[in-house]
A and B are shown apart, each in its own frame.
Chain A
Amino acid sequence: MGIRLLHTSDWHLGCPLRHVTGDAGALVRERRLEVVRAIAQLAQKREVDAVLVAGDVFDGQHVDSALLLRTLEALAAYSGPWILLPGNHDAALAESVWTRLARLEPPSNVHLALTAEPIPIGNERAFVLPAPLKSRRTQDDRTAWMDLAPTPPGAVRIGLAHGLIEGLQAQVEEATNPIAADRVQRAQLDYLALGDRHGFLKVDARTWYSGTPEPDHYRYRDAGFVLLVELDGPGAVPRIEPIPTGWYHWVERALELPPLSPPELEARIAAVSSELPAPGERVILKLALRGSVDLAGRRAVDAALARLAAAVRHLALEDGLRLQPGAAELAGLDDGSIVGACARAIDERRRSAASEDERAVAELALRLLWQAVAELGQAEEPRA
């Protein structure tokens, strides 16, 4: 009789997601707890023997106590064993989020793997060998103890760790929380469940990163999954099934806007909305704008951006658009009064600005002038 597990990690409960502001931020943060409920329901549904959470359950040591209680409540949907491993964000310090959680007296099926000792699951058909991190950063391989960890003969040996497999990130000169690349062989593990990377990754047939179940950044392409792991017995190659759990899509787009008419500009921006991989309410969009527009174009872009922001859950804008008023626009301001002279002076200042800030101020001044003149013109028209 085999062993079936759910492998997940990097929940980062309590993560502030500072770059998602306003109500959208609150919703995105709340979703991180909802995904835990979803995992519990999945575990219950798939009748797994245990759910292994490979570290960084919490984003920090000082999360709200209410969050701890809500986490326990979210776990309640699965009555099987939860094996929660401290990671680098929630290391098992002398006083930590884990000691706080322990004081809340969690249910007996919730195991806090705070020490390196085998945990039996599936009626001792398998043993989970946890390698909890005791500090935020360490240069020691905390999984080394697994090599000599005693388990009954015939039991499946499952490693549970949080860190970086050596050689996986060559660019990191001195990776912290290292894990030996051949730990599976040395410790005769049937499966090594890892956490730390937010996208899921197969290191080898028995070594997997599950990634975070709910994406939290634009750069993680393979985030938003949990791994269903099935082991037929000791020595058997595990069968891995990534199951999507993520709700929000973190999308990055860049638009280079050439000089276009206002309707064309609006169309370009509107096209971003229509090309999204999911309904807007599930999209966190980061949009970088480059290029230059004239005053009318700027107004059109602003209007289109406002519509786009309303269409997605959150729009993070990197506005690199340069204002390039057209000669006709400046001439339009020049009605023979000093307004035209002012506009020309400010435009000259914009073009000769010594700093980016100075340029931005001059651009804004020009926009404000243009806008005010336009509004006053509109106000006068009915009277005319």
Chain B
Amino acid sequence: MRLLSLTIRDFRKLARSWHIGPLEPQLTVIGGDNEEGKSTVLLALKAALFESWSVSGSVGAAMRSHTGGTPRIEVAFELGGTSYRLEKEFGRSCLLSWSNGRLSGDEAEAKLQQLLRFERRSGRADRQAKHLGLFALFWVDQGTSFVPEMTVKALEPQRDRILAALRREIELVAGGPRLSALRAHIKANCARFFTERGEEKRAKDSPLVALREQLSALEAEIAQLQALRRTYDATVDRLEDARAALARARDPQRRAEAEARAAQARDELQRLDDLERAYAQQHLIVQREEAELKRIESELRARERRREQLERAQAELTELQRERTELEKQLKAAEQQCLEREREQSRLAEEAANAHARLVRAQRARAFLERRDHVQRLRDACNEIERTAQAVRRIEAELAEITVDQETVEKLRAAAQKVAEKAAVLNAQATRIEFFPTGERGVRRLDGSALDLGRPLDLTEPTELVLEGFGRIRITPGGDLAAAQRAVEEAQRRLDELLARARVPTLEAAEAALSRRNARAHELMARTEQIAALLRSLGVEDGSALRARLEEEEQKLGELQREFEEDNDAARLLEQEHAIEEEVRTCTARMEKAREEARRAGQICAELRQRWAAIDGQYRTQLRTLQELREAELADHARISDADLKAEYDRTAARLTNARAQLGAIEAEREGLDPQRVRDRAHAAERELQKLEQELVAAQREVDRLEGELKGLGLEACDARLEELERRRAELVEQKRSLERESKAWKLLWETLVAHERRITESLLEPAERRFRPYLEKLFPDAELVLDQQSLLPAKLRREGIDEPLSELSVGTREQLAVLVRLALADLLLEHEGEAPCLVLDDALVFSDEARFARIKRILAEAANRMQILVLTCRPREWADLSARYLRLEDCRLKT
């Protein structure tokens, strides 16, 4: 496309009429000051070509200038070798004319849309790149060229056109629309089975999924029917078995044989039972005879034993009688002896009591004398305590007189120390004078007191000294001695007060008084301890208790005093005490001996009595036994005589022998039958019959149950349905196999196609790069451009092996690259469409440095040989060195 001229009237800032042209087919620079209307020229161009003549509302209002006139724009341009003239008066008319054609109104707009290949903006929609066709990319508004996103947006609607150009260039798509149709066809078929991501569809709109679900449902039903059929067949088999079992159970021959065996077994069992009953009865008879025989034998033996017992009992009774008589004699003698011993014991007890009474009196005399001594000791102690108490009181009086205590002395010592310290301070400040007289010169004080010349003299106050042979000398010590002196005096005054309060003249006197006080205190403590020790020894707490004890003891002593009027009587008794004690012991021993003898005699007497009683008891018992035996013998003889009993025994023995013989015969017959075998046979026969019956019932029950079960299963038509389902399944399996294969085939086709397309897209980069490279080498000789595979736009600049993303480049560099992109794409279109679009740069490259600016100007000038370039700039002088047509905007205003 080539713009020829542009006439604008009353459009926004450009009031009245402006004519911009003629425009060069190469480079045209339109200069103008800021705010003069350069950008409005570009806006007017866009409005004329891309806005409908009938636009109204805010869009239409925005076009109006301050004069209020109707905006009108005329554009003359060439496209595809044809010159067009567009006259558009917004809101009123539109006319498009060319060499052999002319259209107006909407027809003109439609023609325009067809020529420029853009999408008409509708209503108040925001203007987008697609609304400007190719020119969104090549007409760069002020300040937008360096924004990569803007470039991408502008390129987006034209990508197909650019790509188509590239594809044609590499001649890979000769098919053109046919390939698109084929691609769509394959994709549509592939989409029947697969998602966009190439995964198999799970939704039911996939024929394969629907088929699989149908097949799955079918197989489930088939499995169910097959299971039912297997159950049915198995049940039929069981019914067969059950009926066979029923037939076996009903077999009459088998039953007859079993019943015959049972009858025979029952007969044998009956005979066995009879024999066993007879055996039992005979056994009872034998047992009874045996018992009777035993009883008679027993009675015969009992009679014999009784006779022996009678004889023994008679002999024992005689012996017992003799023993009893002998014991009676011994008992009488023992009782006499016992009486004598008791008398002797009584006499000796009386003697012992008398001796003991005398001993008691002697002991009381001893107590009297001991108590008398004790009272005397208590009296001595009372006196001692009294004396000691008096000494204590004296010491306490002395202590009360001594006013100095340890604390007082400590205070005095501290005060004296203070005085010494203060004096030391005074002396330290004193003026020391040492004398080294020559000869026997003396020195003395003015007051006349002599001085020891061998010792230094410390002066703390003005002092006059008389130096013999010299005269007087007055020495006044320097410094503040008065304060030290006052301190000494104050300390001394404090000491004196304390001494006065302690009523002692000096510290030494105070210390002596303290020493005395301590000595008296120790003494007091000793005396007090002495009294306490005495009281403790007597077992009393204090003096008053001691006195009470003394009074008590004196009273007791008084009572004893009356018993022993004469002390001599008591002494005498005391002297006899040991003899009396000896007499008591002797009497007591004799008495104990007599008592022991009496006890032994009594014991012998008791033993004899006991023995007699026992013998007497035995005697009586034996006598009674004898009587009982005799009575029993008489009774038995009265019942049956011994001879009769013996005869009875013989008869019973004969009967027993006979019964045992009969029992043996029965036993032999029974053993001959083999009872266990007979019983087992009978039991087996009965069991067989029972089993037959049970078998019959169970088999009948099983048959009934299985028949019912089969009816319940209701399998009729199962085969037909199953066969139908299996037929259907076979069809579906075939369909599924076919569909799966088809889906795989479509997928294979699609994946192969996409893979090839991807490779082609990748190969498109090469021609794009080839277009960029010459421009880039001119502007960035050492740089390499990395293109984005999708957008085909520069993504990175590689310099010295380092990739720099476009977004990180400077604004100026980005702006320069953007211009180069447009030039490269315009070259591409020029080559493949035979015509390049017109490139319009509105105040572009303002961020470029001088060197780059100079280079890019040369690039533009060179490119202008192939395409029309319009530069709108506020700095036209910077473009003056190019062989371009220059237009000043202010010169374009028409006079009328």
Q: Determine whether A14 belongs to the interface, using a CB cutoff of 8 Å to chain B.
A: yes
Q: B753, A62: Cβ atoms under 8 Å?
A: no
A327 touches B (CB below 8 Å): no
CB pair A95 B707 closer than 8 Å: yes
Contact among B174, B235, B756 with A345 in the assembled complex (CB-CB below 8 Å): B756
Q: Which residues of A have CB within 8 Å of B135?
A: none
Set A18, A336, A364, A367: member contacting B723, Cβ < 8 A: A18
- Taking a contact as CB atoms under 8 Å apart, the answer to whether B753 and A338 are in contact is yes
Least CB separation from A357: chain B residue: B741
- With an 8 A cutoff between CB atoms, is B178 at the interface? yes
Bound form: Cα–Cα A95–B703 in Å? 11
Bound-state CA distance A66–B757 (Å) is: 63
Q: A16-B726, A337-B178, A342-B749 are in contact. List 19 more A-B contacts (CB 8 A).
A: A19-B730, A59-B719, A61-B236, A62-B720, A64-B716, A64-B720, A93-B239, A94-B239, A94-B706, A337-B173, A345-B756, A346-B752, A362-B745, A364-B741, A364-B742, A364-B744, A369-B749, A372-B185, A380-B178
Complex CA distance for A372 and B171, rounded to whole angstroms? 22
Partner of A342, one of B233, B242, B722, B756: B756
Contacting residues, chain B, for A62 (C-beta < 8 A): 229, 232, 715-720, 722
Is B710 positioned at the interface, with any CB of A under 8 Å from its CB? Answer: yes
Q: Is B182 in the interface zone, CB < 8 Å from A? A: yes
A372 x B186 contact (CB < 8 A): yes
Q: Is the CB of B236 within 8 A of A96?
A: yes
**Is A338 a contact of B757 with CB atoms below 8 Å?**
yes
- Tell me, yes or no, whether A122 is within 8 Å of chain B by CB: no
**Is A365 among interface residues, defined by CB-CB distance under 8 A?**
yes
Query: Is residue A60 contacting chain B, with contact meaning CB distance below 8 A?
Result: yes
A342 (CB) vs chain B CBs: closest residue = B752
What distance in Å separates the Cβ of B47 from its nearest Cβ neighbour in chain A?
39
User: In the bound complex, do residue A63 and residue B719 qualify as a contact, i.e. CB atoms below 8 Å apart?
Assistant: yes
B611 part of interface (Cβ distance < 8 Å): no
Cβ-defined contact, A373 with B717, below 8 A: no
Known: A62-B716, A365-B746. A338 touches B236 (CB 8 A): no
- State whether A336 and B727 are in contact (beta carbons under 8 Å apart), knowing that A62-B232, A364-B742 are contacts in the complex: no
Known: A364-B742, A380-B178. A345 touches B752 (CB 8 A): yes
Q: Please, which residues of chain A bring their CB within 8 A of the CB of B697?
A: none
Q: Which of A22, A95, A361, A380 contacts B744 (CB 8 A)?
A: A361
Cβ contacts under 8 Å, A338 to chain B: 172-173, 179, 753, 756-757, 760
Q: How far is the CB of B256 from chain A (nearest CB, A)?
A: 25
Contact string against A for B residues 722-745, beta-carbon threshold 8 Å, 1 for contact and 0 otherwise: 111011001100000000011011
Judge whether A95 and B236 touch: CB under 8 Å: yes
Contacts of B61 in A (CB 8 A): none
- Whether A376 lies near B752 (C-beta < 8 A) is no
Contact with B along A222-266 (1 / 0, CB 8 A): 000000000000000000000000000000000000000000000
Query: Contact between A21 and B730 (Cβ–Cβ < 8 Å)?
Result: yes
Q: Which residues of B contact A (CB under 8 A)?
A: 171-175, 178-179, 181-182, 185-186, 189, 229, 232-233, 235-237, 239-240, 242-243, 706-707, 710, 715-720, 722-724, 726-727, 730-731, 741-742, 744-746, 748-749, 752-753, 756-757, 760
Interface residues of A in 52-98 (CB under 8 A from B): 59-67, 93-96
Query: Which residues of the other chain, A, contact B172 by a CB distance below 8 angstroms?
Result: 336-338
Chain B proximity of A357: nearest CB distance (Å):
8
Nearest Cβ on chain B to A352's Cβ, whole angstroms = 13
Q: How far is the CA of A63 from the CA of B174 in the complex (A)?
A: 65
Min C-beta distance of B611 to chain A, whole Å? 110
When distances are taken between beta carbons in the complex, the residues of chain B under 8 Å from A25 are 727
| Residues of B with C-beta under 8 A to A377 | 178
8 inter-chain pairs at a CB distance below 8 angstroms, sorted by A residue, are A63-B719, A95-B707, A337-B173, A338-B753, A338-B756, A362-B745, A365-B746, A365-B752
- CA separation between A367 and B742, bound complex, in Å? 11
Chain A residues lying within 8 Å of B723, measured Cβ to Cβ, are 14, 16, 18
- Looking at B229, B706, B752, the one whose CB has the most chain A CB atoms below 10 A away is B752
Q: Which of A60, A95, A369, A373 contacts B719 (CB 8 A)?
A: A60
Closest Cβ of chain B to A101, distance in Å, is 12
Q: Which of A21, A67, A349, A357 interacts with B727 by CB under 8 Å?
A: A21
Bound complex: CA of A360 vs CA of B738, how far in Å? 10
Query: Given A64-B720, A93-B236, A368-B746: A21 and B173 within 8 A (CB)?
Result: no
Shortest Cβ-Cβ A-B pairs, 6 listed: A16-B723, A336-B174, A94-B239, A62-B719, A364-B745, A365-B745
A140 to B289, CA, bound (A): 75
Inter-chain CA distance A360–B236, complex, in Å, is 47
**Closest beta carbon of chain B to A75's beta carbon, Å:** 20
Pick the contact of B239: A59, A95, A335 (CB < 8 A).
Answer: A95
In the assembly, what is the distance between CA of A379 and CA of B177, in Å?
Answer: 12
Q: Give the CA-CA distance A286 to B527 in the complex, in Å.
A: 155
A110 at the interface (CB under 8 A from B): no
Cβ of B757: which chain A residues have Cβ within 8 Å of it?
338
User: A360, B240: Cβ atoms under 8 Å?
Assistant: no
- Give Cα distance in the complex from A77 to B360, angstroms: 164
Known: A336-B174, A361-B741, A376-B182. A100 touches B716 (CB 8 A): yes
Minimum CB–CB distance for B438 against chain A, Å: 146
Complex CA distance for A163 and B17, rounded to whole angstroms: 116
- Residues of A contacting B240 with CB < 8 Å? 93-94, 134-135
* A335 touching B174 in the complex, CB below 8 Å, given contacts A18-B727, A376-B185: yes
Report which of A59, A335, A342, A349 forms a contact with B753, defined as CB distance below 8 A: A342
Q: Is the CB of A361 within 8 A of B748?
A: yes
Q: Most chain-B Cβ atoms within 10 A of its Cβ — which of A16, A22, A135?
A: A16
For B707, list chain A residues within 8 Å (CB).
Answer: 95
Name the A residues within 8 Å of B730 (CB-CB). Answer: 18-19, 21
Closest chain-A Cβ to B722's Cβ sits at a distance in Å of 8
Kindly list chain B residues whose C-beta atoms are within 8 Å of the C-beta of A22: 731
Interface string of A315-359 (1 = CB under 8 A from B): 000000000000000000001111101100110010000000100
A342 to B756 CA separation, bound complex (whole angstroms)? 7
Residues of chain A with a CB closer than 8 A to B726's CB: 16, 18
Known contacts A14-B720, A18-B726, A338-B172; A368 and B756 CB within 8 A of each other: no
B748 close to A365 (CB less than 8 A): yes
Q: Is the CB of A335 within 8 A of B742?
A: no
CB distance from B262 to the nearest CB of A (A): 32
Determine whether the beta carbon of A368 is less than 8 Å from that of B718: no
Q: Given A67-B720, A100-B716, does the pair A336, B746 have CB atoms closer than 8 Å? A: no
Residues on A with beta carbons closer than 8 Å to the beta carbon of B760? 338
A342 to B745, CA, bound (A): 13
B181 closest partner in A (C-beta): A376
How far apart are the CA atoms of A376 and B188 in the complex, in Å? 15
Which chain B positions have C-beta within 8 A of A336? 171-175
Q: Give, as a whole number of angstroms, the nearest-CB distance from B517 to chain A.
A: 132
A135 nearest in chain B by CB position: B240
Q: Is the CB of B175 within 8 A of A337?
A: yes
Shortest CB-to-CB span from A158 to chain B, Å, is 28
| Distance A64 CA – B716 CA, assembled complex (angstroms) | 6
Task: Determine which of B235, B239, B724, B749 lies in contact with A365 in the assembled complex, contact meaning CB atoms within 8 Å.
Answer: B749
Q: Which of B173, B242, B720, B745 contacts A63 (CB 8 A)?
A: B720
Partner of B182, one of A18, A64, A100, A372: A372
Give chain B residues whose Cβ lies under 8 Å from the Cβ of A93.
236-237, 239-240
Which residues does chain B contribute within 8 Å of A339, judged by CB atoms?
175, 179, 182
